Amino acid sequence: MKTQLIGIDIDGTLVDDHNQVSTANKDAIKRAKQAGIKVVLCTGRPLKAISHVLEACDLTDAGDYAITYNGGLIQATDTGEIIQHIVLSQDDVVSLYNLSKTLDMPISLVGMEDVKVFQNHHDRPCLYYTINKWLSHHPFQFDDYTGQQVVNKMVIARPEAEIEEALKKIPEHYFEQFFIVKSRPNLLEFMPKTVNKGAALKLLGQQLGIVPEAMMGIGDMDNDLTMIEIVGKGVVMGQAPDYMKDVADYITKSNNESGVAHAIEQWALNML
């Protein structure tokens, strides 16, 4: 089946290790768009944090969409119109805050415009500010949480060894209640159970009249897994972990070798 939509992860996929989009990747995306293929960036970042990437890839016209917060938010990139928005409930926030205390790990609330950083680990702060530099980060006390704040996700950002140890200690019922994913070696994210990139792509496809079998998904980490599994052509980056490669239909070059361009040219444009 010909590819009608391509979902592309950003970090570790579209951008290289210096957070740059290569000329080859930009050109391939523009050629795909000109060929009538929808190109949708699918990321854990908010829309505000990918505006420069969207502009560089010519993905800000009417009819262009982005999936952000790992599938929690689907928006039109030209107007910001919201197609779907799934957030954590007040009970969810309280439950995850209590989990962070059990794990003895710092946790932060990620909203639409800012990050609220709980100040209960001065000796081991949440390092999310080093990862998400596009949103403002503010100290926050749990007693100030009213339930009125929009919380897209909660995150624990610490060195990889601490993240791995924390994952082992999370009770199973939390995995049943939430979508918990390590989106980077040093970042653990907690989202509503129904939130993931694959589900968001499927919903957007329904809006556009495109079935998953006519989609390509390109990614590299755990938070891309649902996208890779649901589409007709699941592509994993060359530097991705072996368990990601095991579920892929195709393996492309690394993010430092314009692997996105290679995938688009080989398994989308060459098959039109």
Q: How far apart are alpha carbons 109 and 222 in whole angstroms?
A: 21
Instruction: Say whether 9 is catalytic.
Output: yes
Q: What end-to-end distance do the CA atoms of the chain give, in Å? A: 9
In the three-class reduction of DSSP (H, G, I as helix; E, B as strand; rest coil), residue 74 is classed as strand
Q: Can you list the alpha helix ranges (DSSP code H) found in 68-186? A: 90-103, 160-169, 172-177
Contact 8, 54 (CB under 8 A): no
In the three-class reduction of DSSP (H, G, I as helix; E, B as strand; rest coil), residue 83 is classed as strand
**DSSP letter (8 states) at residue 109:** E
Catalytic annotation, pick one of 9, 64, 92, 220: 9
Which positions are catalytic?
Answer: 9
